[in-house]
Amino acid sequence: MDYIIGVDIGTTSVKVVLYNTQGQVKGYANNGYPLYQDTSDMAEEDPEQIFSAMVNGIRTLSKKMHLSKGDNLKGVSFSCAMHSLILLDDHHNPITRAITWGDNRAVKYADELKENGIGKELYQKTGTPIHPMTPLTKIIWFKHEQPDLYHKARWFVGIKEYVIYRLFGVLKEDYSIANATGMFNIYKMDWDDQALQLTGVKRDQLPELVDTTYQLKGLKEDYAKLMRIDKDTPFVIGASDGPLANLGVNAIKPGVEAVTIGTSGAVRIVTDKPKIDPKGRVFCYYLYKNMWVIGGPVNNGGIVFRWVRDQLCAPEKVTAEQLKMDPYDLLTKIASKVPAGSDGLIFHPFLGGERAPIWDANARGSFFGLTRIHTRAHMIRSALEGIVYNLYTVSLALEEVCGTPKSIQATGGFARSPLWRQMLADIFEQDVTIPESFEGTALGAATLGMYSLGIIDHLSDVKNFVGVTHSHKPNPKNYQVYRELMPIYIRLSRHLQTEYKNIADFQRRHEVNKK
């Protein structure tokens, strides 16, 4: 039997999935690593820990499936989280950790670009909204706040580029990852001159740009032995995780919207050419020729539910342990006793700043409408609703750019909850399908790899790999309630946005004073 490996380098773990060439899962490894957050704005990872997690994942599957025997492993293909930045010295050694998309320390410089109008110019050329998540603003932050490291750096790369260099000794960057740096011109398909000038980075300090189907060969022999695969195994460079998530759930036809709620979340739709939002609310990222993914990412998905579990529901967490239940299952069961709309309790889920659609790293979370009748059960449900409300505002922005979606393919950890799935259908007022697509982003990478290697003829062949696990239709009683509450949620967001910077500045000052 022939196989292909999809490698998904994520924010907190590397997932390595072995598929046969019919898209069926034959093996799985998931190796985690810590996120370093010494301050509320910091979010870093150790590149060596990520690299080791990837190598060990492939080794685990190779050993289990005897991939070193014969030529049954046809290739390895990558997906990777966007917006990471690592500074390398002359010898390609990291002089920083990997600064992830969740790092907000460049907020001051992102705000300046927005205020002086340069940010809008850059967005119109790069398709990447101005935000401290981008390597563009991170490099500017290093230039001003860490000048010694900035001047010591010979190369500016992301985590995928670092992994590829370790494996093959070359610096290559695919168009999709480059697109998300905020420094890539989507019309010229090259690094943008204005962005380079702003950062002070020269072209020869950045990796060579290649298409997402580019094949790497000549794997270093010591790593081939360590991973127990043939050194001639081709590696396909792949793309970024958002676009590949669309591919992996078969949301690549016009009008099919992909909604993801994992640790973070996103709403995305595929078009045949670049599209820019005049209001700058959504991104435009490359997947492959004539396939551009338009959408918006949110910082606050399942991580908010984790906060609810740990900070608001300690007694329920203990109860779940005693009953040997998943605490999330218990919390959603409790939330299901509360009616849609949580009796008028609204939650803004901005616990880690926010990206789409407000692109405000200073955004902060809040409960609104609390009365004496509200219980912890109401707070649990309103938190789940708030996550979906925010995703729906992204969908509204996307609708202005790409038109009304015809259907939704929804994925992520949230899909285990019938309550949360139905909530999505009710708030979006759309039929929702949960694809039978194990680790959709890794499947997207594997599908792109199979296409590059000539195993399949078209990317649309992914439809043969994806089934259906659940379908939900909007409940009229519920969506009528949400129709009343959504305008309040949106107006309230606008009112609060005028104070986000003030409260964020207060918190940062006092955070510093506590050290």
How far is 218 from 231, CA to CA, in rounded Å? 6
- Cα–Cα distance for residue pair 308/327, rounded to 1 Å: 11
Tokens for 376, please give them. 């912890």
Contacts 24+ apart (CB under 8 A), 277-280: 277/397, 277/400, 277/401, 279/397, 279/400, 280/119, 280/120, 280/123, 280/129, 280/130, 280/359
Write out the two tokens for 104: 């907000």
What is the C-alpha separation between 137 and 199, in angstroms, rounded?
8
Rounded-to-integer distance, Cα 271 and Cα 448, Å:
17
Residue 74 parent element (H or E) = strand 73-80
pLDDT one-digit tens code per residue, 496-509: 999 999 999 999 99
Six-digit token string for 273: 């050419």
Model confidence over 245-264: pLDDT tens digits? Answer: 999 999 999 899 999 998 88
148/141 Cα distance (integer angstroms): 12
Mean pLDDT of 454-469: 95
**Geometric angle at alpha carbon 43, from 299 and 205, rounded to 5°:** 105
Tokens of 445: 């990478």
The pLDDT of residue 286: 98
Largest CA distance in the chain: 68
Q: Which two tokens stand for residue 79?
A: 């997906």
Give residue 411's pLDDT: 87
Query: Residue 141: enclosing H or E segment and its boundaries?
Result: helix 135-145
Q: Answer for the pair 504, 496: CB distance below 8 angstroms, yes or no.
A: no
Provide mean pLDDT across the span 443-452: 98
Confidence band, pLDDT 50/70/90 cuts, at residue 69? low
The whole-model pTM stands at 0.92
What is the distance between the alpha carbons of residues 25 and 92, in angstroms, rounded to a whole number?
A: 35
**What is the model's pLDDT at position 512?**
62
**Distances, alpha carbon 278 to alpha carbons 50, 282, 289, 445, 490, in Å:** 37, 9, 24, 31, 19
Q: At what angle do helices 440-452 and 241-248 cross, to 10 degrees?
A: 90
Q: Does the pLDDT of residue 71 top 90, yes or no?
A: no
The structure tokens listed for 90 are 């002359």
| CA atoms within 13 A of residue 75's CA, in its CB half-sphere | 24
Under 8 Å between Cβ of 271 and 402: yes
Pick the range with the lowest mean pLDDT from 62-71, 78-87, 343-352: 62-71
Measure the CA–CA gap between 337 and 331, rounded to whole angstroms: 10
Question: Residue 68, SS3?
Answer: coil
Q: What per-residue confidence (pLDDT) applies to 273?
A: 96
For the chain, state the CA radius of gyration: 22
Query: What's the pLDDT band for 513 if we cut at 50, 70, 90?
Result: low
The answer to whether residue 515 scores a pLDDT higher than 60 is no
List helix spans (H) across 13-158.
47-65, 107-115, 118-126, 135-145, 147-152
Phi first, then psi: give them for residue 409, nearest 5 degrees. Answer: -105, 115
In the structure, what pLDDT confidence band is assigned to residue 514 with cuts at 50, 70 and 90? low
Q: Which residues pair with 77 in a beta bridge?
A: 6, 236
pLDDT digits (tens, 9 = 90+) for 76-118: 999 999 999 999 999 999 999 999 999 999 999 999 999 999 9
pLDDT for the residue 70: 63
Range in 64-73, 258-267, 385-394 with the lowest mean pLDDT: 64-73
Residue pair 33/55 in contact (Cβ under 8 Å)? The answer is no
For residue range 29-44, list pLDDT tens digits in order: 999 999 999 988 999 9
d(CA 78, CA 445): 6
